[in-house]
Amino acid sequence: MTPPADGERALKPGDVVAGRYRLQELIGEGAAALVFRATDEALGRDVAVKVLRAPLATSAAAAERFRDEGRAAAILAHPNVAAVFDVAPEGESPAIVMEFVDGEDLASMLRRVGPLVPRRAAAVAAQVARGLAAAHVRGIIHRDVSSRNILINREGRAQIADFGIAQAMHEVDGSEAAARSGQRPEGSVGYLAPEVLAGSPQSASSDLYGLGVVLFELLTGHRPFDRLSGAELRERRIQSPAPSPRELRPDISPELELITMRLLAPKPNERYVNATAAADALEAYVVQANRTAVPSRPVGPAAGAPRALAGTRVARVAAEAGPGEPEMLPDPSDIGSDDPYPESDTMSLRSTLLAITGVALTALLLVGGVILALRIFAAGTGPDNNVKVPSLTTLTLAEAITIAEGMGLRVQVVERVASSDQPVDTIISQSPGSETLVPLDTVIEVRVVAGSGFVVVPDIRGMSEADGIAALATAKLVRGATFSEYSDTVPAGELIQQNPRPGVQVASGTAVDIVVSLGPEPALSPSPSPSLADWPQVPDLRCSSIADATALLSAIGLTLDAPSALLDPTDLVDTFSPLAGDLVAPGSEITILTTAPTGTVLAGCSP
């Protein structure tokens, strides 16, 4: 293994962060950070610990920015934001302790199930918009809204993660890396707003553009400009509007197309005024598509409205008109100077309009009073308030959560079943049944379609290699790539890790990569180490594909580490460690830190 860079302590399962979070297993790796599942030994709960990688961890500016953004994100308490619990103190590897979300990111889900039905895509995007709204009203900009940074838990709730990671990476790009690769904007390039690509700073409006790209991706399976590359990509992104999702998918309604295109407007002032307005529009579309409720009636500046629950009626109360509050009527005195009617007729018209207005106000007050009384009567006024369970069958999981939470209820998936004629995540049964009176906060248990041909990945960690392969075969999965590494805790021959991880729903026949333990690493041989003259130099891998980089390293006796070897062989290498020109021991492993999709022209690389 490559030794850790100066200033970075290589964390591993069993280590303790901030004096209480014991790392259990590595569950994710990205260009900026490693993610571990850990146990909070003080509270006995699972948490996720995100640790900055080198060279980010060795940059004082990036590490401090990472901690500051973690502290800022910790003030967010919202169902659609992955909660931040703690930040590792200075002196330890920069780490943020977050809520453990048992699920997968949107990018993985799209690879697994493909584009979503329009109403489900809108429901997921609405939840993301609610999370962004909660951040924006506190002055926090995400800066990297992308499908990889949106998590979907097993109940279908969308949660935004990785506040601050893009800024931390940008700190390094602006210092050590800028001289090598040129200044570049913070965030994932495919989701950046045109004004950010042109050099303007990130803003709440640029977060909304990123949300528009995510919505486009949910609807079509592609980002708006995926088929372009290089200079043409940059020029089109800055100067031209995004294509319509209906060009790729004609069944998308004009209403949802309008919402998507407004989020993707080239100019910030042409997008929604804030994330709250975008969420309201998306939720209104979902309600209209489901025909289950009347869209909310926003009044006043919605951006400052407090929101307790994401995507629910409760969340919209602050922006709705209260009981008896009238709709905005035209001002009857607003009559042009070129009015052809004489003054007496004008006065008569005004009197008539005022009379109509009075009657309308009275009617609205009466209707509002009746509705309020019915709600109080139906819900009760004591601590044992009851509500009627809504019908959730035939809805998607995301839609059901939105409706149930609006009534003060919760949804829990108890079983996933195969179906040949129902879309993935469609609810096929529920308990309690619809129209049942239940107390507030009751859990509605639902059975959800897993999709024809989909299976759940079993947990084969700790099994022998043969038993693990047999378990995969029983689950209708196949063995993928096999890797080996030393372990002080897992006996030789047993499985240490697997990818995809346990519990993930994948297509039948999917290959599962495994890591087999070699047992404890043997003691170093007393024979003299080879002289530095025999040590190979790390070649410059930047601009090479993963496949070419693997071959280049193999030719001089070096290899990629296990996580890097799992990367898409067509991706292009951007940054790696150790750096080009460094002398390393024969057989050392090289870590790929950041990559770009094939077709992307990296700064300093020829097309």
pLDDT in tens, 484-538: 888 888 899 999 988 877 766 666 788 888 989 988 888 765 555 556 667 888 9
Task: Extract the residue ranges of the chain whose pLDDT is less than 70.
Answer: 1-10, 30-31, 54-55, 164-188, 227-239, 291-384, 418-421, 451-454, 503-507, 524-533
- Do 159 and 294 have their domain in common? yes
Position 528, amino acid: P
Q: Which two tokens mark 3?
A: 């030794």
Enumerate residues 6+ apart whose C-beta is below 8 A from 286. 119, 122, 123, 126, 399, 402
Q: Is the pTM of this model over 0.85?
A: no
DSSP 3-state assignment of 566? coil
- Do 460 and 426 have their domain in common? no
- Do 111 and 220 have their domain in common? yes
- Do 267 and 233 have their domain in common? yes
- Do 392 and 360 have their domain in common? no
- Do 263 and 222 have their domain in common? yes
Exposed / middle / buried, residue 600 (Cβ in 10 Å: 0-12, 13-18, 19+): middle
Structure confidence by residue, pLDDT tens digits, 374-425? 454 444 444 457 888 988 888 877 778 878 887 888 888 777 776 666 777 7
Q: Which helix (H) or strand (E) holds 119?
A: helix 118-136
Let me know if residue 522 belongs to a domain. Answer: no
Positions of E strands within 106-194:
150-153, 158-160
Let me know if residue 211 belongs to a domain. Answer: yes
- Which position has the token pair 């590490």? 63
Let me know if residue 469 belongs to a domain. Answer: yes
Position 201, amino acid: P
Domain-terminating residue out of 65, 99, 133: 99
Let me know if residue 250 belongs to a domain. Answer: yes
> CA torsion 259→142→34→466, rounded to 10°?
-20
Q: Is 441 known to be catalytic? A: no
CATH code of 91's domain: 3.30.200.20
Q: Tell me, what's the pLDDT at 190?
A: 80
Q: Tell me, what's the pLDDT at 271?
A: 94
CATH code of 569's domain: 3.30.10.20
- Do 163 and 310 have their domain in common? yes
- Do 231 and 311 have their domain in common? yes
Let me know if residue 525 belongs to a domain. Answer: no
Q: Tell me, what's the pLDDT at 451?
A: 59
- Do 79 and 108 have their domain in common? no
Q: What angle (nearest 5°) sits at the alpha carbon of residue 228, between those of residues 264 and 159? A: 45
Helices (DSSP H) in 434-521: which residue ranges? 465-474
The distance from CA 135 to its chain's CA centroid, rounded to whole angstroms, is 14
Domain-terminating residue out of 56, 84, 99: 99
Contact 211/278 with Cβ under 8 angstroms?
A: yes
Let me know if residue 338 belongs to a domain. Answer: no
Q: Of 40, 86, 105, 144, which one is the catalytic site residue?
A: 144
- Do 173 and 35 have their domain in common? no
- Do 80 and 122 have their domain in common? no
Let me know if residue 342 belongs to a domain. Answer: no
CATH code of 136's domain: 1.10.510.10
Quote the number of domains for the chain: 6
Helices (DSSP H) in 484-596: which residue ranges? 546-555, 562-565
- Do 85 and 117 have their domain in common? no
Domain-terminating residue out of 463, 487, 517: 517
Q: Which two tokens mark 139?
A: 């002055």
Let me know if residue 603 belongs to a domain. Answer: no
* Segments forming the whole domain that contains residue 415: 386-452
